[in-house]
């Protein structure tokens, strides 16, 4: 079993009486790709900032490599790299100059600096842009450079706050290929994301809502917490049907998938059988149905939108 690298014990943060992070306890093994999911304002960034020693916890504690992230924050900062949501490099410095600047800030041995920079330029596929100003890079290349600067000192952990937001699919994949390689080499990745397909790529995922930890498990085990399969209806016209079905008292929620209405209900089989016997929507044409297995978007909806009726009982205890 991998040793624990990050541990949170009743970690809490309040701002002027408002609870941003509410007594979170969890642990993350070394080398894991850990996905931290939640809506905007759920407490993801505040949690990362506490783990990075940038914000003092209001209660509880967290450790990285056994060191307290606040009390020992100056020592802990050498153990991790952090990439914030917004591009935070020096746009008037070249790619190579940014790497050298952050290498100096992290006290990389000057005799090893050139070799480390050359290694990162190759790894990040930025060797051809080494003399380009950071401000002249595309969004994807800027983000790769930001990750490179966070990795210059070969940290134990890498914290990434929505690292692929707004990027094209090619650069999103390039970043995830890099994260896989880092994880395989023993680096622990802590990443927040709004993309459910990226949540599928993590070795473990946690959901946070209003500062509270709702669930933490592997993507596969989280999907298995949803009872049975999900009903999808082929109906026309689609959008009016969406509103009518959502208003039904036994329906928790609906969404559109591949031109069909995806339905969340505590007892979808019984509900569908009742509708087959007497279709309750005279203005909507029923054209067929399928049953689909849950994915991470369904899990996210169940936890973040309160669809607890579709979760297995053991997941709610």
Has residue 4 got a pLDDT over 80? Answer: no
Task: Say what angle helices 169-184 and 139-151 make with each other, to 10 degrees.
Answer: 20
Q: Tell me what pLDDT residue 244 has.
A: 95
Q: Tell me what pLDDT residue 2 has.
A: 57
Q: Tell me what pLDDT residue 203 has.
A: 95
Cα 238–chain centre separation: 31
> Which of 159, 205, 207, 206 is CA-nearest to residue 182?
159
The CA-based angle 176-182-184, given to 5 degrees, is: 105
Per-residue confidence band for 314, with pLDDT thresholds at 50, 70 and 90: very low
Longest pairwise C-alpha distance within the chain: 78
Report H helices in the chain: 44-51, 73-76, 95-105, 110-123, 139-151, 169-184, 196-199, 219-224, 238-246, 268-277, 296-304, 313-316
> What's the rounded Cα separation, in Å, for the pair 188 and 178?
12
Domains of the chain: 4-223 (3.40.50.300), 224-316 (no CATH)
Has residue 247 got a pLDDT over 90? Answer: yes
pTM: 0.88
Terminal CA-CA length for the chain: 26
> What's the rounded Cα separation, in Å, for the pair 58 and 94?
40
Q: Give the rounded percent of residues in the chain with a pLDDT score beyond 70.
A: 97
């Amino acid at each position: 079993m991998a040793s624990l690298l990050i541990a949170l014990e009743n970690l809490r943060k309040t701002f002027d009486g408002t609870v941003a992070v509410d007594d979170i306890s969890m642990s993350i093994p070394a080398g894991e790709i850990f996905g931290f999911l939640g809506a905007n304002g759920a407490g993801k960034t505040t949690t990362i900032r506490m783990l990075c020693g940038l914000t003092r916890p209001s209660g509880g504690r967290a450790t990285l490599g056994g060191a307290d992230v606040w009390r020992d924050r100056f020592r802990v900062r050498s153990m991790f790299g952090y990439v914030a949501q917004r591009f935070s490099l020096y746009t008037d410095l070249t790619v190579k100059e940014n790497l050298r600047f952050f290498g100096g800030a992290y006290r990389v041995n000057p005799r090893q600096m050139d070799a480390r920079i050359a290694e990162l330029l190759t790894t990040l596929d930025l060797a051809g842009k080494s003399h380009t100003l950071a401000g002249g890079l595309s969004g994807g290349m800027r983000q790769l450079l930001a990750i490179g600067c966070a990795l210059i000192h070969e940290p134990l952990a890498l914290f990434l706050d929505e690292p692929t937001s707004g990027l094209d699919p090619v650069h999103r994949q390039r970043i995830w290929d890099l994260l896989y390689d880092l994880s395989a080499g023993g680096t622990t990745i802590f990443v927040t994301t709004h993309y459910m397909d990226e949540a599928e790529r993590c070795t473990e995922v946690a959901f946070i809502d209003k500062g509270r930890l709702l669930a933490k498990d592997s993507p596969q085990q989280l999907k298995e917490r949803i009872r049975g399969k999900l009903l999808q209806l082929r109906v026309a016209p689609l959008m009016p049907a969406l509103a009518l079905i959502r208003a039904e008292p036994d329906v928790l929620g609906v969404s559109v998938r591949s031109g069909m209405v995806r339905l969340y209900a505590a007892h979808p089989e019984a509900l569908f059988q009742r509708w087959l016997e007497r279709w309750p929507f005279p203005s909507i044409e029923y054209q067929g149905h399928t049953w689909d297995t849950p994915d991470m978007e369904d899990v996210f909806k169940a936890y973040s939108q309160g669809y607890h009726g579709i979760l297995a009982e053991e997941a709610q205890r």
